[in-house]
Structure formats: C-alpha cells, structure tokens
Amino acid sequence: METSLLYRNLPSEKLVQELGTDKDGEEYIQHFIQQRIPHHEARFGQYLNIEKTGRKKLRTPRKAANLRKKQVLSAADKKQLKLFDIPEDQQKYKLYEPLHHLWLAYMRDCLRIPPISAQAQGIKLLKCDLHGSFMKVTKSTCPTYIGMCGILLQETKNTFKIITQTDQLKTVPKANCEFTFVVDELVVTIHGKHFRLKSSERALKGKIKDKITIDM
C-alpha cells in the first residue's frame, strides 16, 4: 500500500513559520529557551552541552539511571542558572510598594474575615505568605543586622531577602534574628530560629513545637 495515502510529512514551510525555526531536536530546545529567557541564553545552552567539562565550571548532566527520579534543580544548579536572582535593574524599592499594598489587603482578608481569636490568628500567621511585607530586624546576635528594614522579596529556607529603601537587596539569615512586621494595629514578631522552613512548606505543614526557647 502506498504510505503517501496514509500519511505525509508536514509541510516544512508552515512548521517553520509556526515554530519560528527549522532546527531540530536539541537545537530546537536551545532556540526555544533563548526565545523565552533571553538573558539566560548562554548559561542554559551550556547546561545542555553534553561534553564533559571541569566540575568548577559546569555541572555534568544527570546519568540515565537518575532520570527516573523527580528532576529537581539542586542549590548549586540554581545558583549557576541565576533563575531566582533579581536582576539589578529591578532592585528598586518603589517597584515593590504596590506589592506591599497588595500584601496588606491579603493579610487583612486572612486575619479579619471572619473575626477570629488570637490563637487562631497565630496559626493563620504561621501559614500565611509573607512576600511583600515590610519587615524590620529588631534583635540579632550580629549588631549590624539590627535596624535593617524593607520589603520582603524572597523567602528561602534559611534567609529573607529584603529590599531596603535605599534600593539595596539584603540577605538576612533567619537564625539568630528576630523580625517584626505590622498589619494595621497588629504587630507580629517572628523568631527566626523557629521559622527556618521554605514558605511553601510552612504553608502546608507549618507547625511549631511546644517547647521552644526564645533565647538566641
């Protein structure tokens, strides 16, 4: 039977128009990434490069056996890719003021409607998202951190990334620090020592043990 009746190759010109390229396979993926994340083009392209290079410069790709596991980027990969970094031109305090107002509205929603007891408020606060809050470091074993304040942009497992009013992005470790933020009349103090969870994990299973000390 003639296969040409059953199927035909896709018209190449149309494909090229749709996809924007006539490259194939790996080259296509590289091109795709470059289109979407322009400033990461060099790095990601290198990542896909199968040639073995020195460990210091690049990570070697995962072996086939490991591919069965969930493919998550490790901390070293993230650092190298700079996916979670905020570029310099976006490190302006004014850009994030609307975020802060959004967050305030979200917090009011969370804590007020319906009216709840202080204990329940406490539980809710544990689970709520703090991105956009105006945090201030009130106590710390390291004196230079004391007094730092700004809008929270990123929360990692062990740090808070805050942008100060002087447009500086500061990374403050949670351990050995106490933070304070204000929502209308409510003043909340966070003991960083007991808050060392990723914000996503905290929202799901945020539980503080009963016997805790507030000494740093």
Partner 1 sequence: MPRLLYLCENINFIVPNANIKLEKVEVMLPGCESLPDVIQDISPDLDSYYLVKRLPVVELVKEEFVKEILRKGHFTGISVGTRVDNHTVVAVLPSGHLILSVDKDLYQELGLSGKPSKYTGRNATRFVVEIDLFNANHSNGKKQYNRVLWSLKDRLNLTFNFIFSWEPINEEKVNFMQLTRLWDKYVLEDLSIVSHTIQKTQTTVVPKLSHNQSLVSTPGDGQDVSSIYEYIGTISCDANQVGGPGIYSSSYTCPEPCEEVKGITCQRWSGLISSEKIKQLLKALRSFVKSDAFVPWAALTVHGFDDSPVSWWRKEHGFHKNGCNLYTILILPDDTYWLYMAIGTNDECP
The site for partner 1 (CB under 8 A) is made up of 138-141, 143-144, 146-147, 216
Nearer to partner 1, 33 or 149 (CB): 149
Nearer to partner 1, 128 or 177 (CB): 177
How far apart are the C-alpha atoms of 18 and 34, rounded to whole Å?
Answer: 16
**Contact in structure between 182 and 134 (CB atoms under 8 Å):** yes
Contacts with 47 (C-beta within 8 Å, 6 or more apart), sequence order:
58, 59, 61, 81
How far apart are the C-alpha atoms of 102 and 193, rounded to whole Å?
Answer: 27
How far apart are the C-alpha atoms of 135 and 182, rounded to whole Å?
Answer: 8
Q: Which of 157, 141, 137, 144 is nearest to 200 (CA)?
A: 157
CB of 148 to partner 1, least distance (A): 10
CB of 167 to partner 1, least distance (A): 17
Nearer to partner 1, 34 or 164 (CB): 164
Nearer to partner 1, 208 or 216 (CB): 216
CB of 120 to partner 1, least distance (A): 30
Nearer to partner 1, 59 or 136 (CB): 136
**Strand bridging mode 186-191 / 149-155:** unpaired
**Contact in structure between 78 and 154 (CB atoms under 8 Å):** no
CB of 176 to partner 1, least distance (A): 9
CB of 199 to partner 1, least distance (A): 25
How far apart are the C-alpha atoms of 99 and 32, rounded to whole Å?
Answer: 31
Q: CA separation (Å) from 162 to 39, 62, 78, 151, 195?
A: 24, 34, 19, 5, 16
CB of 143 to partner 1, least distance (A): 4
Nearer to partner 1, 60 or 189 (CB): 189
